[in-house]
Structure 1
Amino acid sequence: MTGRTIRVSDVLGPVTALGPGRRLGVWVQGCPLACPGCMSRHTWDPRGGREVEVERLAEAWRRALADGYDGLTVSGGEPLEQPAALADLLAAADRERRAAGRTDADLLVYTGREDDEIAGSPRARAALDLADAVITGRYRAGEPTRLVWRGSANQRLVPRTPLGRLRYEPHLRREADRPELQVRVTDTEVRVIGVPRPGELGSLERELASRGVTFRENTWRP
């Protein structure tokens, strides 16, 4: 390892709404794409979040594997804004799963970059070299979808390895039959994890308000 750091917004587990099974979620910080309607505006500012050593994330992944987690999901923010750090993170994750005898644990990356943008960028291709599957494409609020783990109909789920094909090909056209969101409530904040359908965040706000929980600010409105 090179001692590289990666700027992240959050690290949470278990995550069950961004890929199959129980997963460690890493949200990188910084996104220039600024898709209208994005629920994670707090991850846009490249100066936000915090710098974390890739090795620290590898340690978290090692513990997750020992706890029986099924995979790692890297989202954001835009992971390909930090391609070298992303490559290091996936290399560390691959090293840890091999050392633990957990080569069944997959690595999934979300990116707003389109397939042709990735194909035309050697740095992006290298960064994603060890990803078992990638979800690609800008979020388009006007193109809703019920396809699992995708926010809009243009986004593509692309298996890239034998493990990725085994784990993700059954879900390429699978539609969710119910909302697939995780909600975590603390004394100071409500965290929503997953890919909401149109109107779900507003419904959540109204439901929480009926229980006396109101927001001073949220991450899905300017």
Structure 2
Amino acid sequence: MARLARVYFPVTALGPGRRLGVWFQGCPIACPGCMSRDTWAADGGTVVPDDWFAGAWATALARGATGLTVSGGEPTEQPQSLLALLRAVRSAPAPHGTEPADVLVYTGRSRTEFATLVPGGADLADALVTGPYRVSEPTDLIWRGSANQRLHLLSDLGRERYADYEQYRPEQPPMQFVVDDDKVSYVGVPRTGALPRMERSLRAADVHLGRSSWRP
């Protein structure tokens, strides 16, 4: 069984193309300044069986998915479920006439720790972003929150899709707003200070947030 914080499609702000985004629930790393504190609690989120992933990925492929992005929370806290997800993606054939989908995984662990905690996981991913978020080390590198985080290219497909992004610094980071009932989610990696500025702008427009995922 997997405990998930959220699942979105299409995600366009965390990797190239149109992606299925899967956020695992539970994170003991608890980085100060994290924008996703709602994913920390190990007993939060929604529980799904591991075989649910195959159907979710098939639906995403049918809707034009070109990749999978896994984040959290901390995916290595649920290694068997993470492997079930990655295997479901790898075993699904690409729709006729389409390019193969790539897999990007975020972890607050090091690459060595990831390999230890999720045996075989690196062999099922094309790219891996490693390292905890450090609010004191801002960066403008795409898809990374702090300068200590590293983008590792693990496969030929990963090198093909991500090589141009290793040192890419966009003028503005890609971001998405996802509206779901009474909740608005911010998908992407904002730069330091972006979230407080957004709150101030909303207040100036007489829009007041309730609970924010980035505040205690």
The separation in 1 between residues aligned to 2:43 and 2:183, in whole angstroms, is 21
Identity %: 52
**Aligned residue number for residue 85 of structure 2:** 89
User: Greater shift after overlay, 36-45 or 107-116?
Assistant: 107-116
Residues 130-150 of structure 1 show CA distances to partners (whole Å, capped at 9, x for unaligned) of: 011110001001101111000
Letter in 2 for 1:137: G
The separation in 2 between residues aligned to 1:210 and 1:180, in whole angstroms, is 24
**Aligned residue number for residue 107 of structure 2:** 111
**Aligned residue number for residue 182 of structure 1:** 176
Question: How big is the shift at 1:95?
Answer: 1.1
Where do residues 184-199 of structure 1 align in structure 2 (5 Å cutoff)? 184-186=178-180, 188-199=182-193
Where do residues 21-170 of structure 1 align in structure 2 (5 Å cutoff)? 21-96=17-92, 98=93, 100-101=95-96, 104-119=100-115, 121=116, 123-170=117-164
Query: TM-score normalized by structure 1?
Result: 0.91
* CA RMSD, Structure 1 to Structure 2 (Å): 1.5
Letter in 1 for 2:130: T
Cα 1:185–1:67 change in 2 (3 A) is closer
Task: Say which SS state the counterpart of residue 13 (structure 1) adopts.
Answer: strand
Residues 138-166 of structure 1 show CA distances to partners (whole Å, capped at 9, x for unaligned) of: 10011011110000011011111111110
Assess if the C-alpha contact under 8 Å between 1:183 and 1:190 holds in 2: yes
Assess if the C-alpha contact under 8 Å between 2:2 and 2:47 holds in 1: yes
The separation in 2 between residues aligned to 1:83 and 1:185, in whole angstroms, is 30
Assess if the C-alpha contact under 8 Å between 1:118 and 1:124 holds in 2: yes
**Aligned residue number for residue 14 of structure 1:** 10
Query: TM-score normalized by structure 2?
Result: 0.94
Residues 64-88 of structure 1 show CA distances to partners (whole Å, capped at 9, x for unaligned) of: 1122221010100000111111111
The separation in 1 between residues aligned to 2:208 and 2:178, in whole angstroms, is 15
Q: How many residues align?
A: 215
Contiguous gaps of at least 5 residues in structure 1: none
Residues 148-185 of structure 1 show CA distances to partners (whole Å, capped at 9, x for unaligned) of: 00000110111111111101111111112113211123
Assess if the C-alpha contact under 8 Å between 1:182 and 1:193 holds in 2: yes
Question: How big is the shift at 1:217?
Answer: 1.3
The separation in 2 between residues aligned to 1:77 and 1:20, in whole angstroms, is 21
The separation in 1 between residues aligned to 2:58 and 2:180, in whole angstroms, is 26
Assess if the C-alpha contact under 8 Å between 2:4 and 2:45 holds in 1: yes
Question: How big is the shift at 1:186?
Answer: 4.8
Task: Say which SS state the counterpart of residue 203 (structure 1) adopts.
Answer: helix
Whether 1:200 and 2:158 are equivalent positions in the alignment is no
Letter in 1 for 2:205: R
